[in-house]
Structure 1
């Protein structure tokens, strides 16, 4: 893979791959971008590992996910304090059974919490 799915413009190997391989994301925006890339690449274990333990689902069934992710736009990143941050983003996607159809948008404001040295996705509000 060359360009990272997160939309940074960097190569995957120099961007989200390092987080997928175990390096802690330095901030909530980097974690959110790496989680988007993990959805594109169907890296369920990474998504579950970076999901806050209080809100983490048992599984995601990404192999049965009918979505094709098309792009990510980070609208806003706000660090609330040392251990809390918010990321607002828009992710575009199509349903795999209708790739010729119109793309849809997921507009979310996500909450993140840092525990020790690791950032975790806590929850999100869809708009």
Structure 2
């Protein structure tokens, strides 16, 4: 169970409540593509499907999102990024997300595309 005082799953080392928790609660929006990526990872870690849906681009968002209760997201590595800064409207973030599924470790590697419209970043899709 992650509380506001717990270390944020995104890997920045801050307490969840002042790190990604503020984005999940709607108290702030992620100012960069990387911070949106980190907050989405944390949303997977805490099971916040509402935030995941809200930050998924409407053209690529699934109609229904169900998380596997046997999968626990444990660690995020940011491997690279292009664009996605404070004054940009597009960017990519390459990452490796680690998890445990039914006691077995695993990871997924993806380079994701993000866009910003009306001041809000959203996840679009993996980049091939």
**TM-score normalised according to structure 1 size:** 0.89
Partner of 2:21: 17
Q: 2:124 aligns with which of 97, 104, 122?
A: 122
Q: How does 1:1-127 map to 2 (within 5 A)?
A: 1=3, 2-22=6-26, 23-62=28-67, 64-79=68-83, 82-96=88-102, 99=103, 101=104, 103-125=105-127
Give the deviation of 1:13 after TM superposition. 1.2
| More displaced stretch, 40-49 vs 67-76 | 67-76
Give the deviation of 1:69 after TM superposition. 1.1
Give the deviation of 1:107 after TM superposition. 0.6
Q: State the distance in 2 between where 1:70 and 1:26 align.
A: 24
Gaps of 5+ in 2: none
| More displaced stretch, 77-86 vs 14-23 | 77-86
* 3-state SS of 1:69 partner: strand
Matched residue count: 121
Give the deviation of 1:10 after TM superposition. 0.7
| Runs of 4+ more than 6 Å apart | none
Q: State the distance in 2 between where 1:70 and 1:20 align.
A: 18
